[in-house]
Amino acid sequence: MTRIAIVDYGMGNFHSVARALQAAAPDQDIILARHASEITSADRIVFPGQGAMPDCMRTLQSSGLHDAVLNAARNKPLLGVCVGEQMLFEGSDEGDTPGLGLFAGRVQRFAGPAFQATPGGAMALKVPHMGWNAVRQTRSHPLWGGVAQDTPFYFVHSYYAVPLNEATIAGTALYGQDFCCAIAANNIFAVQFHPEKSAAPGLQMYRNFVHWQP
């Protein structure tokens, strides 16, 4: 039996993630990890996040789990979700917040002409971006297994990651512009959308993560 630790540092929809994982992999040992030792002893890590990245980073540090997450990310399969993906980068424009620095690049807010109303009356796209959006898989990866190209996933966010190394981009979506919504490198896969809110395709992604051998 594989032990999967969901990092519970107080800023995320941890119970929703746990329920989705339990539905996708009922024969696995799934725990909400509130102590560093639980992350250290786990075989796989799910790293969710929700809300503002400055709050998430501050809470992660104060929870005592910061270093355990960094250490696990070096050698264990890790799935980042929503702000959990953003936190893997060097920093964010949201409060000029430093991240974990596991990926080169920064997190920035949706901006540009598509998000501004025009004098002619054209409506601006709303921020945050909320709802279902097709995801374009830009490279093959085991976590895309059984998930069709352009499958919709559920998003709720105002910021998105901009990787410095484009080779780490595993998926994109279109909302006023193409933006990165999935990254992958070595033992890490992370997404901006919420698999646990994305019905059957989201459960398939969690199922793929449980059996992934990076």
Given a contact cutoff of 8 angstroms between Cβ atoms, the answer to whether 170 and 185 are in contact is: no
The pTM of this model reads 0.96
Instruction: For residue 35, indicate whether it is catalytic.
Output: no
Domain count of the fold of the chain: 1
**Per-residue pLDDT reduced to its tens digit, 70-116:** 999 999 999 999 999 999 999 999 998 899 999 999 999 999 888 88
Q: Which of 38, 56, 82, 85 is the catalytic position?
A: 82
- What's 63's domain CATH number? 3.40.50.880
Q: Which of 38, 56, 180, 194 is the catalytic position?
A: 194
Q: How far apart are CA 206 and CA 196, in angstroms?
A: 8
Q: Which of 38, 85, 94, 196 is the catalytic position?
A: 196
pLDDT in the model for residue 121: 60
Residue 122: band (very low, low, confident or very high) from pLDDT cuts 50, 70, 90: low
Instruction: For residue 15, indicate whether it is catalytic.
Output: no
Instruction: For residue 90, indicate whether it is catalytic.
Output: no
Percent of the chain past pLDDT 70, that is, above it, reads 99
**Per-residue pLDDT reduced to its tens digit, 156-166:** 999 999 999 99
pLDDT in the model for residue 13: 82
Domain that holds residue 101: 3-211
Average pLDDT over residues 129-143: 97
Given a contact cutoff of 8 angstroms between Cβ atoms, the answer to whether 172 and 179 are in contact is: yes
pLDDT at 198 over 70: yes
